[in-house]
Amino acid sequence: MPITIKLDDLLHARRMTLTDLSERVDITLANLSILKTGKAKAIRFSTLEAICHELGCQPGDLLGFEGE
């Protein structure tokens, strides 16, 4: 899929683990792991809002597009 998730980079930059983020945004670790590994088919606005709020970033920082 040409849409990429840059959650790993954002977490690394903030010295935060996926478990920490999971506790702060109240989303299961399993779901965040699906998102991080690019296996998610869709993302809710509420999820995007919670992650951006906790990581202090914009949706564009989390999502990328890799065209051909």
Partner 1 sequence: MSKPLNDPLLTTGKVVLQIAAAGIAITIAVAFYGFVALFTDPEGNLARIFAKAPPEAWWWLFGISLLDTLVLGLCLLFVFQLVQIVDSVGDGDPFVPQNAGRLDRMAWLALAMQAVSLAKLPLAALLEPHLKDFPLGIDFSLWGIVLALTLFILARVFRKGAEMKADLEGTV
List, in order, residues 6 or more apart from 35 with CB less than 8 Å away: 5, 7, 43, 47
Inter-residue contact 63 to 6 (CB < 8 Å):
yes
- Determine the interface stretch with partner 1 among 14-22, 26-34, 58-66 (rule: CB under 8 A): 26-34
- Judged by CB under 8 A, the number of residues near partner 1 is 12
- Work out whether 16 is an interface residue with partner 1 (CB under 8 A): no
The tokens describing 55, both together, are 């990581």
Q: Which one-letter amino acid corresponds to residue 15?
A: R
Instruction: Looking at residues 40 to 59 of the shown chain, list those that interact with partner 1 (rule: CB under 8 A).
Output: 40-44, 47
16 or 48: CB nearest partner 1: 48
Closest distance of CB 57 from partner 1, Å: 17
